[in-house]
Amino acid sequence: MIARVNHITLAVTDLQRAVAFYTDTLGAKLKADWPDGAYLDLGGLWLCLAREDTVVPRGDDTHIAFSSDQFAVMAEQIKATAKIWKANTSEGASVYFLDPDGHKLELHDGDMQSRLDSYRDRDDINLHL
């Protein structure tokens, strides 16, 4: 059985721009860098940025969601610096935004339990509790 996420690698076209976005906007800590990559600590998540000549963003709803103990502050910072790609229609407050290479990200104020609780009265969702 999987215990947890080990790391996430995202392809980026401009390494310096991507590092600046993740450190300045999201508060990541730069741990190592080299000409074609960087390792960052993003709230305990090992994030690898790997330079590529081209990056093709996905056209579907695939995205990575983050949490913050300072949701309101982070949400305002993100809205001021990142492009929003989707309005929130799910349980809990969320901001859906893009990084400089078009990777779809979300800041969400909730967890799996709050999401499941919001489904308790729905007939179209089977809960396996």
The residue from 52, 76, 91, 106 that is catalytic is 106
The fold adopted by the segment(s) 7-118 is 2,3-Dihydroxybiphenyl 1,2-Dioxygenase; domain 1 (3.10.180)
* pLDDT confidence of residue 91: 82
* pLDDT confidence of residue 7: 97
Q: Judge if pTM exceeds 0.85.
A: yes
The answer to whether the CB of 15 falls within 8 A of the CB of 49 is yes
Residue 118 CB burial class (10 angstroms; 0-12, 13-18, ≥19): middle
Residue ranges, the chain, pLDDT below 50 = none
Q: Is 52 annotated as catalytic?
A: no
* Degrees to nearest 5, angle at CA 21 with 100 and 71: 110
* pLDDT confidence of residue 16: 98
The answer to whether the CB of 64 falls within 8 A of the CB of 104 is yes
* pLDDT confidence of residue 10: 97
